[in-house]
Chain A
Amino acid sequence: MSIVQTVLVFVGIPGAIIGLIAFAVYGKSMLRQPNRYRPGRPWPYEAAWFVPHPDAVVHSEGGHPQVEAGTTTKTTAIGGASGEW
């Protein structure tokens, strides 16, 4: 065998097989989850505030959340819980 043939057989073929297996294992998640969150990494996205659609909620006392900038309602925080990870 010439040097080129030797390299192709002993480096090219194993390399191709390794690449194929690696793609089969990681390829799907790399293609589908481009922005997956990983703990410890920064979160470079803009803040988002999700509120249910007003039609979905039956308000006992009337009034919808006023989350627009600069508005405050008379409510105050009473309780809750906190955590870090």
Chain B
Amino acid sequence: MSGESRIDPNHPDYGPVDPHHVQYGPIGHDLGANGFTARQLARLDEALTLSSRESGLTFSLYVGELKAPTRAHAEALFERLTDDSVLIAVAPGERALHIVTGPGSSRRLPNRACALAALAMRAAFTSGDLTGGLVTGLRMLSDSAGRI
């Protein structure tokens, strides 16, 4: 969708995320290892689970480095998910955020709804509220998608 060239999702540079870092819900991970406190992880877990359950879409959050071009990296990550997934990829270091939808989820979430959520997330990130922005984005996307 962007003008950037497509990249091979399995290219080592765009690295498969180490399976060790993939979690079913943020709780249970080593405290602070991924930059969040236990309380923040609990908020993320609740928002992630509730929005996925209510909308029937599989929301997933990626927080970490995105290599340039960041959009292509986010889309490469998305290709490991399912048609009904929505990926929210945030790179706090690069100050970039991408929401990626697939064949199933884009029918429920038009780009306009994603742009609105991205705007709200940017506002929170600008003030340094990383967790708040992620939770807000999840709620807005879930509300836009509606219930199953």
Instruction: Spell out A's residues near B (CB within 8 Å).
Output: 33-40, 42-54, 56-61, 63-73, 75-85
Residues in A whose Cβ lies below 8 Å from that of B44: 50
Q: Which residue of B lies closest to A72 (CB)?
A: B79
From B22, B23, B93, A68 is in contact (CB under 8 Å) with B22
Contact A83 B26 (CB under 8 A): no
A48 contacts B64, C-beta separation under 8 Å = yes
Nearest CB of A to B93, in Å: 4
B residues less than 8 Å from A70 (CB atoms) = 10, 16
Instruction: Say yes or no: A79 contacts B95, CB within 8 Å.
Output: no
Does the CB pair A35–B111 fall under 8 Å? Answer: no
Residues of A within 8 A of B71 (CB): 82
Q: Across the two chains, which residue of chain B brings its CB closest to A38?
A: B128
Interface size on B, residues (CB 8 A): 82
Q: How many A-B residue pairs have CB under 8 A?
A: 222
> Measured between C-beta atoms, what is the minimum distance from A34 to chain B in Å?
8
Min C-beta distance of B87 to chain A, whole Å: 8
Q: Name A35's contact: one of B32, B63, B102, B115 (CB within 8 Å).
A: B32
CA–CA, A79 to B84, complex, Å? 12
With beta carbons under 8 angstroms apart, the residue of B21, B36, B59 that contacts A47 is B21
B60 touches A42 (CB 8 A): no
Of A60, A67, A80, which one neighbours B99 at CB under 8 angstroms? A80
Chain B residue at smallest Cβ distance from A70: B16
Cα distance, A35 to B92, chains bound together (Å):
13
* B93 contacts A42, C-beta separation under 8 Å: yes
Closest beta carbon of chain B to A37's beta carbon, Å: 4
Interface residue from B24, B26, B84, B97 paired with A84 (Cβ < 8 Å): B97
A33 touches B37 (CB 8 A): yes
The answer to whether B79 and A76 touch across the interface, beta carbons within 8 angstroms, is yes
* Residue numbers in A under 8 Å from B121 (CB-CB): 83
